[in-house]
Every structure is written in structure tokens, then in C-alpha cells.
Chain A
Amino acid sequence: MTSEVENKPVFCTESAKELVKELRASFATGKTKSYEWRLTQLNAMVKMMEEKEPQIVAALHDDLSKPELESSIYEIAMLKNSCRLAVKNMKHWMMPEKAKTSLVTFPSSAEIVSEPLGVVLVISTWNYPFLLSLDPIVGAIAAGNAIVLKPSEIAPATSLLLARLVAEYLDSSCIKVVEGAVPETAALLEQKWDKILYTGNGRVARIVMAAAAKHLTPVVMELGGKCPVIVDSDINLQVATRRIIAGKWGCNNGQACISPDYIITMKDYAQKLIDSFKYELERFYGKNPLESKDLSRIVNSNHFARLSKLLDEDKVSSKIVHGGERDKENLKITPTILLDVPRDSLIMNEEIFGPLLPVFLVDKVEDSFDVINSGTKPLAAYLFTNKKKLKEKFVATVSAGGLVINDTTVHLAEPTLPFGGVGDSGMGAYHGKFSFDAFSHKKAVLYRGFACDAFVRYPPYTRGKLGLLRALFDGSILGIIRALLGWSKA
């Protein structure tokens, strides 16, 4: 062990315990509940992005070779919008919502009050390490919580930058970053949190939820799955192809939870589709995509090996119809298309999370629904068609976190839509007001007065009271009168 390693303080269970204790004390002061505090933090986040954009872009490039445009738009601009939306709407979101009351408890009034859950943990991931760390935090701040962020160690430059920027711009007594890997995450998970939002894979999600279960901590799980794209024949093929490419290779080179994972199309249409892909891919990334600056690299050698394994499987390697070139040293794989892969191949059963696009063939487009429903529920599903009935059947039959018709991935940018999965792709949702709600407790409040105390509730329990109770519950004024007069069934 070198002295540099020994000098670095170890973040263990004790440290995690102290951290939570400190944040609970901060939360107890009521500081995070004030509108002013929340506003200050969100405005500071916007300022941070305005002042530090070059450093953020550089860190994302270090970690992922992410093209500047992707970093500026899909990470920074998205986050800025998220902050601005929260700043604009927060006052309204914080207001209690009136609730209707009925004859059963007349006279009374009721409301639903949003209150912060308390001290929350956000565990983030490596593919959009900036956005997926801070976007949940926007919601947690807007809802008035104290927060710990655990960024992913697989994107170390961004993790380090986040730790520095949060300390510099946000209130460190209430918002903290803990860097590290499995041991640090495990130490954090032993503590009691008031909510955990985890973004990542199903295997670790089970560990997070099991840890949360010990403390009855509610969770939001943003996971993944195999997001299918059904391509029908009577469409604007050029637009469809471009949108699929943008959603696949344009989103961190396929390493995104909502990237199109695989295509389903008809046997008769496949060649036309593939030709269109080849044409557009060359326009986007040139004849030599290994050298294109517009594609992220594969994040690390583990994932490179994983993706190589998918390509090298016997029944799959012969199905490559485009791309397939690899540069192990620079962690690059070119946009790769495979045609007519077997249903039971690895590439058709594991989430790909990379630049490989299998095309699965069916006889008719309606058969795609069974293919999709035979797998676990994905985070997103896409359909390109002009047929109204097919769109309706798709929406009614396919269960996924989100659906997009005639485009891919863009629903993520829509803050009025809840972003989250179902089944294996996750539970809970966030974005826009859904983020505020995810980190709030919706407290039911009922106001009663002392007048009109309903004697029917109290003992002694008589048949007359039973009759009157029936009438009250039925909401029937006539029934009440009859009961009072002793005419109704008891």
C-alpha cells in the first residue's frame, strides 16, 4: 500500500452514519423547507452550468469521449431546463391542493399538503453522469430535502467534478457528494434514508431495494431493458432512419437506457431498411466511423468485452450486415447492424447498451407485439407507422415505461410526461413535477369543527343509529329524513 492510498480517508459505515446524522440535524433546522433556500440552490445550479460548461464538457469527454454537442445539449441544456422549470413552478407545486369532502363528514374541509421526505440518497450512473446525478437532485431540492449524491465511479472525472462543483456552488450543510465504489455505496445503503432514487441495472437495483426494505425506505428505480423499435413499411423511411440513428448512436453511442435496442420489421422490408441505415450512417459518421468525433466511445474495457462477446456468439457473428469493426485500444466499435438474429441469442436477450443494432424479422408487423411481450417490460418502446389502428393497438398492448410513435427517445425531454419504468425496467418516475412529487410526502389533512357532532358515530349503538348511518353513507337526504323519523331499515 502506498502512502497516498493510506492518506485518503476511508468512507465506512461509521462515516456514513455520521454523514446521515449531520444531514438529519440540518434538515431538522427547517432550512431546506424554506422556499428561499430551495430557490437559491436551484439558481446556483444554473449559475454553475453557465460558469463551468467547458469543465463539464471536458470531464464528459474524458470519461466517455462524449461529443461536445451531446454534452451541451443532452446533459447541460436538459439540466438547465429542469432547474428553470422547477424555479418557475415551485411555488405552485408547494401549495396545498384542496380536496373535495362529502356528506359523511360534513362540515369539514380537506387538503393535500406536500412535505419533504427528509434526507434522501441519489445513486447515479455513468452514461449520462452529469444529468442523471443532478436531475434527481433538482427534484429533491424543489421538494425541500437534504441530499446525498453518490455518483458512479465508472465515470471518475465527472464524479470528481461533481464533488467539487456541489461543494462550491450548493449548500454543503444540506447537500453532499460521496465518491467511491462498492464499499462506499454499501456503507451508505446500511443507513436509514427517507427515499432512495437509484439509476442503473436490475442486479444492483435488487440489492438497493433489499437494503431499503430493512428501513422501509421507499425507492424510485430507473433501470433499463430492451427498447424495441417496430418499423412498418408505409413510412417516411429517411426520417425514420435518421431518428433511429439519433436515438441509437446519437445517444452516447447506444449506451443509454432508452436507446433503441433492437428493430422488428417485416421480412420483405428488411433490406430496404438496412440500405437506408447504411446510407444515413455514412452521411452521419463518414466512411470511417472509428475516426468520427461524433460518437462516444465504449465506456471501459469491461463493457467492450461484454459487447464483443455479444458479437462473437456463433449464431450471431455471421449475421453482421454492416459495421462490426473494433478498436480495442481506443474502446471503439463502429455502428453495427445485424440481420435476422435468432430469438434465443444473447444479443436478443440481454440489454445491449452499445452500438449494435439487431434487426429481428417477422412475417407481418402485428406479430411484433408478441415478440415484445415475450420479454420483460422495457423502459421505452417505439413504433414507426402511419396506420392509425396499429398505433392504437401498440398503445393498448405494449407495456413499457414510455412509448413514442414515429420517433425515438424524445419523450425524455418532455417534463409533463413521467419518466420511469415498469416491471423490470423500474418503479416510480420523475421529471418536471413528477420529480417534486417523487421526493415529497403528500400529507392528507382534514379540518373539522365542533358543530354538528354526529351522534350516530357513538355508542350506545342502536338500530336507529344503524339506519341513520346507512342513510348518511348513501348520501341520500331523503334517506336521512326517513331514518330520523324511524321509517328506514336498521
Chain B
Amino acid sequence: MLSSMEKSIAELRETFKNGGTKSISWRKSQLKALLQLINQNEDSIFKALDQDLGKSPVESYRDEVGVLKKSVTYTLSCLEKWVAPKKAEVPLLFFPAKAEVMPQPLGVVLIFSSWNFPFTLALDPLIGAISAGNTVLLKPSDLAPACMSFLVETIPKYLDNKAVKVLAGGADIGERLLQLKWDKIFFTGSPRVGRLVMAAAAKHLTPVTLELGGKSPAIVDTLSTTPSKAKVTAKRIVGGKWGPCTGQACIAIDYVLVEEKLASTLIELLKKTIKRFYGENIKSLKNISRIVNKHQFQRLVNLLKDPNVADSIVYGGSVDEEKLVIEPTILLDPPLDSEIMSEEIFGPLLPIITLKNIEESIDFINSKSNPLVIYAFTEDDTFKKRILSETSSGTVTFNDSMVQYRYSI
């Protein structure tokens, strides 16, 4: 296994060295082929996502297929501009010199993708790597095995096998890959594994992009406006928690911050919305993904084991171990030092933390490590400015959830 892996990588190096991936026409042909792959295999993609995660076609289209199609189309339309050298000004001292900044491919790139959006998180970085003119080894997550098999079988049918390779396998394959020298590593996953990836990259001075996670809070300050805005707020919170892979998403809402006096209003609205979207109880649950595997299921169930946490459940809490389903669950003020409030939840449990004054949410968020996203439902411009300048996060989205990802192109 080791030698065939090394052979593959040697081939990727050779292809890059021979200039096979540098031309714009090659890059465009690969991107178009990727678009064809997606268009011609939609049903198989939907099937694999349903098999691995119980995703419905609408969720799969919204979060994976649609996003990818848009990404490829956008990249194709901008590629020539991105590849072109950019002129830089030169001071008089050096007249008549000219200067420019020229993008060049890094070389052979390793992409590790995650299991929760197994297509988007594998193919979106691939789009970037190809458009920049690199050769690529893609290592999808084996925790979404049907999707991984699909990628292993289908990518070679559409893309240039000498330049883009897919390797199946688990953590042991990942470890072996990390021993080798790459020109860039792109990793999506947990901070724990992120550290291992960066430490391995350090041995070869390989630059890395790490897409990790955190506890992304939703600050809710719009319940005392109009009833319709309150309803939309509730829909967007529910959609932003249980919509993406039943909360197993880096940008899913992890927990909510709301003023004490509005907590019960919020909980009522959320309950109504959950029932409308997903069904009345665990037996009639629909339109929602399941937990990816037993290990994650057990981890989530354990978060609820602490009696003080279990006591704070105000909705849901039922689990079905056989089907790997956990009902959308709301908790009101679980202890702040409990694991559910210190670890990234990555599942369908939503703690609501109450504050005397919504402005306290800033200090609350700052007492934890920087989240990937802060969602803030507020129409108070001063508060918006404070959130922007006094907190630090990957992104801030006002009055919605999730959509910034679809936008991030």
C-alpha cells in the first residue's frame, strides 16, 4: 500500500513538473469536467448522502450540489482574471522599471475533507487547487463511506487521472500521507486533528489551510420587534441549527444567547417551528439528517448524561440508537462548566443561555475561544457595530444563519 501511494504521488509530481496543469485550457477543461460529473450524477450523489447521513435531496442540493455547481461556474467565469499577473506601482527611483505580482501554482496539494458535507468539503477545495494549476491528492473521510466510494470511483472517469487522484482509507492512510512532503495541505476537520496536520506540515515547512470549527453562537435580540420578524428569527435559528446535517456542521448554530425575559417566548417559537419543519416527535421525524455513526451518537448522548444538563432539557431529548437519530433538543441554561457548554456540540442539541441584558453576550462570547461564525439577530446598529469591533470570529452574519457560506463565493 505504501509503495503504491508513493507511486501515485510521484506521478502527481511528474505531471506538475512537466507543466501539465499550468495552462488555462487544462484548468478550464477539468472544471468543466467536474461540472459534468455533478450534473450527470446528481441522483447517485443524493443516494450516497442519504445512505451516509440521511440527508434529503433538498438539503443535499442546497448545501452540496447547488453550492458546488455555483462554485465551479463562478470559478470558470473568473479564472482568466485570477490567473493574470497584477501590475504593481514602481517608485520613481527605479524608473523605467515595471513590476507585477504573478500567481503560480504551489505544486502537489493534499486535501483532507470531512464527513458532514462530504461532497462540498472535498470538491470545493479541489476546485480551488485545480483553478490555481496544481496537481491534487484528495483523501475523503471514511466516516461517510458511500460518498467516499463514489468519489473514488467517479472522479477518475471525469478528471485527468495523472493530475487528480482520490485515495480511500481511514486515519492510518491519513497519517502516512502526512509523513510525505506536500506543497500545500488543505484540511477540514476538528482542531485536534488540525494540530496534528500542522505539526506534520511543520517538518517540511508546508503551508496549510485549516478549516476547523468552534462554538458558533446566535445572539437573539429581535424577539421584541414585530411578530413576523420574531417568526423569521425562529425559522432561521431552527434552519441554522438542525437544517445543516442535524447540527453536525462547523457553521451550525451551537448555542443561543437571549435575554432572560424573552427566553420563554423564544422557546415557544422554536418548538412550534421544529414541529412544523421536522415533525411532532422522534417517531414522526422527517426532513432531517441522522447522526453519522455510533461513536458520534454516543458522544452526543453522553453530553446529556450529566444530571444538571438533563434537568435543563425543555424540549426533545429522545434518542433512537438503532436508527442513530436524536430528536431536536432544546436546553435552557445548562451549567456553563458542563461539557455541552465547553465543547463544540456538532449535533442536534441547542442550549439557550439567558442573560440579564443582551449586551452581555459580547463578554460571554469573548470568554470562549474565537468561533467560526457569530450570528446576531438584531436591528440595533450600535449593537451591530459593537459586535463587529469587540468580538473576533471567522465571520459575522446579521439576522440570518448559514447563508454566508453560500455567499462566500
Contacts and interface: CB of A to CB of B under 8 A. Distances in A.
Whether chains A and B associate is yes
A101 B407 contact: yes
Contact of B199 (A210, A448, A470): A210
B194 interface: yes
A443 B393 contact: yes
A373 B18 CA distance: 12
A444 B404 contact: yes
B198 A216 contact: yes
Contacts of B233: 450
A28 B389 CA distance: 12
Interface string B190-204: 010011001101110
Which has the most chain B C-beta neighbours within 10 Å: A424, A426, A453, A465?
Answer: A453
B78 to A, nearest CB: 11
Interface in A203-227: 205-206, 209-210, 212-214, 216, 221, 223
Interface stretch (B55-63, B332-340, B347-355): B55-63
B400 interface: yes
Contacts of A426: 205
A441 interface: yes
Interface in A190-208: 202, 205-206
B281 interface: no
Contact of B388 (A113, A373, A411, A470): A113
A427 B392 contact: no
Given A209-B202, A216-B210, A410-B94, A445 B388 contact: yes
B198 A213 contact: yes
Most chain B Cβ neighbours within 10 Å, of A28, A460, A461, A474: A461
B199 A213 contact: yes
A105 B393 contact: no
Given A411-B99, A450-B229, 20 more contacts: A104-B406, A110-B404, A113-B388, A118-B392, A206-B205, A210-B202, A216-B194, A216-B195, A373-B17, A417-B88, A423-B106, A441-B392, A444-B394, A446-B400, A450-B232, A459-B286, A460-B276, A461-B57, A473-B70, A474-B69
B104 A414 contact: no
A213 B205 contact: no
Interface in A407-456: 407, 410-411, 413-414, 416-418, 422-424, 426-428, 441, 443-450, 453
Interface in A227-275: none
Contacts of A33: 389
Nearest to A406: B97
A399 interface: yes
Contact of A458 (B198, B243, B396): B243
Contact of A414 (B91, B106, B403, B408): B91
B201 A209 contact: yes
A213 B201 contact: yes
A447 B407 CA distance: 11
B409 to A, nearest CB: 8
Contacts of B17: 373
A423 B201 CA distance: 12
A386 interface: no
A110 B276 CA distance: 31
A89 B216 CA distance: 34
Given A118-B392, A457-B243, A214 B58 contact: no
Given A30-B390, A448-B403, A470-B61, A422 B106 contact: yes
**Candidate in A30, A457, A458 with the most chain B CB atoms within 10 angstroms:** A457
Interface string A366-394: 00000001000000000000000000000
Interface residues of A, number: 63
A417 B101 contact: yes
A444 B408 contact: yes
Contacts of B288: 459
B26 to A, nearest CB: 14
A153 interface: no
Contacts of A202: 205
Given A209-B201, A411-B99, A459-B277, A443 B396 contact: yes
B183 interface: yes
18 contacts: A30-B390, A209-B198, A209-B202, A213-B198, A213-B199, A410-B97, A414-B94, A423-B183, A424-B205, A445-B396, A446-B396, A447-B399, A449-B399, A462-B58, A469-B58, A470-B61, A473-B61, A473-B69
A418 B88 CA distance: 10
Contacts of A28: 366
A105 B67 CA distance: 12
Contacts of B67: 473
A336 B400 CA distance: 67
A179 interface: no
Nearest to A221: B205
Interface in B370-409: 388-390, 392-400, 403-404, 406-409
A5 to B, nearest CB: 34
Contacts of A423: 106-107, 183, 205
A115 interface: yes
Contact of B392 (A101, A443, A460): A443
A466 interface: yes
Given A210-B203, A414-B99, A459-B278, A216 B69 contact: no
A449 B232 CA distance: 10
Contacts of B101: 417-418
Contact of A450 (B57, B97, B228, B388): B228
Contacts of A102: 407, 409
Interface centre among A205, A422, A444 (most CB of B within 10 A): A444
Q: Which of A28, A104, A113, A426 has the most CB of B within 10 A?
A: A104
A395 interface: yes
Nearest to B91: A414
A450 B395 contact: no
B140 interface: no
Contacts of A212: 198, 202
Interface in B89-109: 89-91, 93-94, 97, 99, 101-102, 104, 106-107
A448 B407 contact: no
A399 B132 CA distance: 14
Contacts of A474: 69
Contact of A460 (B205, B286, B399): B286
A466 B59 CA distance: 9
B75 interface: no
Contact of A446 (B70, B195, B403): B403
B293 interface: no
Contacts of A427: 205, 207
A210 B199 CA distance: 5
Contacts of B282: none
B360 to A, nearest CB: 16
Contacts of B198: 209, 212-213, 216
B241 interface: no
**Which are the 8 A-B pairs with shortest beta-carbon distances?**
A461-B58, A209-B202, A459-B287, A213-B198, A416-B88, A448-B400, A459-B277, A473-B66
Contacts of B97: 407, 410
Contacts of A205: 205
A416 B89 contact: yes
Interface string B53-90: 00011110110001101100000000000000000111
Interface centre among A101, A426, A445, A465 (most CB of B within 10 A): A445
B145 interface: no
Given A104-B407, A206-B203, A458-B239, A448 B398 contact: yes
A178 B194 CA distance: 30
A378 B334 CA distance: 55
A443 B387 CA distance: 12
